Structure 1
Amino acid sequence: MPHLIRTAAIACGLAVAFSAHAAKPAKPTKAAKTTAAASAGPVEIDLANQLGQAAEGRLQQLVERFNHEQKDFVVKLVPLAEGGKPAALNLVRRQDMADFLSQKGRLKPLYQVMSEAKVPFSAASLSTDLKAGVSDEKGKLVALPVAYSTPVLFYNKAAFRKAGLDPEKPPKTWWEMQETAGKLFDAGYQCPYTSSWPTWVHVDNLSALSSAPVATAKGELVFNGLAEVKHVAMLASWTKAKYFRHFGRRDEADKHFASGECAMITTDSAAHTEFREASGIDLGVSPMPHHDDVYGGRQHTLADGASLWVGGGYKPLEYKAAARFVAFLMAPESQVELARMYGQVPLTQAARNALKAKVVQDRDPTSEVAYASLKGEGGQPQLRVSAIDPVRAIVDEELEAVWDDQKPAKAALDTAVARGNALLSAKPALKKAVPF
């Protein structure tokens, strides 16, 4: 088809050139302008990201497939620059979200981009678990939750066997976790249990599992209630007993589990892509434990992660390129590829069904465990403490004071709430989950 278009354009040009008495050319039509733009070569757009080298390398494979499968558009990976103009496409991690979203007016809602580009897009097909932080007040999708996950418990079945534990019966409650950690310690493990992303796991998700809100409807932080205080105090006692080891504020603990040093870890479900390749790890996975004495029983975990945002101020053809790439990412085969590369939760039921066949092949049930843990409620509430990076830093600092035996749990959480609310009062824009 492109060959025929170019041939027609050349013939038209020759006819005009050899007609000396031709009338003044008519104003170019919209179709003619589009043809001229196409003849100039593919439209190139940037996809900015802050992924590490290995993760970016895997994303590059997907981008190259998009670039190869069609010839009208080219997507190029570039670093995400802080404070600069957003690229046409921007892959933003959970921990960077608040700063990035403060750039009001410099982003364009995804639903608007897809509509104006006339690229088919069914936002309704997305799992409701995955819409937190990417939907506006009317429920319209303003970004794509391209790499969301939820906390789960990973454990080393080999370590369980060494400790005389049943490798097919992981702990379901925090009380069972304590008993399991004790047996692992007695079997010689100096790190029975660890956790990455302390605020995300032990504040946001612990609260959701316990039906305890982290904030009021007006955005006032209240994560210093009984459920949270009891949980943090329990972890403090485990630290003293050497059942729990803390390695950092982000995902530093992941490598200590992958190396075999730690027998159990609570971290994002996406980590399974790294763990299943780790030498000496016979990987087991289970939902994040819950406290069985809370009112109403076990509730649900939350979904969050990296999302894809569209920058403002670009040309229609550049938005067309962005829309086509989003549609490419939504295809079930791309979703399966993303899930297997990054461990993300599939966006749609069609993608989830397509992945199930691969689950049998990979013998990795993590995505199904993650979905079961979300229970269809993973998109609520919208406000996540861990997504507001300056508040997350405060909470991590106070939690570390507990782990280091410098403060009791109640005092640390009270201080974290007071400091966090003071910060949000000074910068209320940080409370907004989306900038539209």
Structure 2
Amino acid sequence: MERRAPADRHLLVCGRWDPWLSVVSLDDALDPAHWGTDRAVINRLRVTPDVAGPDGAPAPACGLPVGVAVSRELERLFVVNHAGSASAAETARMPHGHAGSVTVLDIKAALDRGNTGTLNAVSRIIATGTYGPVGSVLTPDGAHLLVAAGEGNGTEDGGCAITVIRAADGTVLHNYPLAAEGVPSAHPSPHEDFGRYPDPAGIAVTAAHGGLVFTGNGGTDDVSVLRLSAVLAGDRGGEIARIPVRHGPFGIAVSVDERLLAVANRESARTGIEGNIISLIDIARAASDPAPAVTAEVLVGTDRDDEPTRPMSCAFAPGGELFAASYRTGTVSRIDTTAAREVRRITLVAPDGSPACPRGVCVVGAYVAVSGGAKSRSGSSWLWILDAASLETVGLVGGVGNEAYLVAPL
């Protein structure tokens, strides 16, 4: 099947507990006849290899696919598997601390409906050499994929690296170290032992100011600022600053004009306190004078300072507006970044009455796509399509995973 034009008429949803990537037609999702069904899902692509199942027979690894990046030339997709090739039984016992992987898919094959439920679109699976990866981003020139390693070997704590992968052939060049000290916590979060390792989740890049990399560090409640050239070359000393934020960050995003970094304050791994703000960081200050780099904290999902909303991710529109998804309150916010305030909010509704639990958000043309749904059963997650101006829900797609995670436009 030929790829539709324009290229951004599809959405990619990571299924998490369903080891697949859902490919959704935006045009079909906007058709009222498809409301609340899975008819807009044109493919569910396997992204993990077969491993031994409970009875010894081959079964797809669980893998926990959580994020996806699209190559600059629109030829490849890169899916981050938080738990690599771990089995369903292994991830059910412990979803953290597994060796991670990145699955590379051919976009033309990914859009071929004949490949649904198969590995036919997979060109390679890359072992990252790290544990519990989450966020990924392509460098501005598209030559390298950077993947944030969020955990340690067998532990939820202990993540302290960025995997640098050559995008053209999938070669892992190195794992770039972030500053850390001591021994990772052996406890699940929240625990007071956290705080020595950054445990990065979100990752973003900018070509501005000579090229910078940012990671949202859930373990240390801060954002790392690194020189992109040093990260790519493997030169030590590339981490030039840590910018404190109020609660452990998860998703982060750079504005289209590369002036602002937005940081979703999800929760502190040390205290368990859930956040309710988006931190706005001035990128020029982050590169030169990081101490005053946080220029605003925007309350999202609530009007009360003391109500946790647990914002998971955020995404900029080309005009500078920012959209944020808050898991705890099931809300999506539109933020005026100039005024640094939430200007519109909507509470998402799942047709089956289950909590919306939004996690991923992306902007696609005049629309905002939001992925979510509580952990339940295979195919129980939802994708909401919102009008970017009004935040009215104009499309609803089911069957996009189980506790679906991040979403990206294609």
The answer to whether the superposition gives a TM-score over 0.5 is no
TM normalised by structure 2 equals: 0.25
Which structure would you say has the larger RCO, counting Cα contacts within 8 Å and 6 or more residues apart? 1
Higher strand share: 2
TM-score by length of 1: 0.24
**Looking at CA atoms only, which structure, 1 or 2, has the larger radius of gyration?**
1
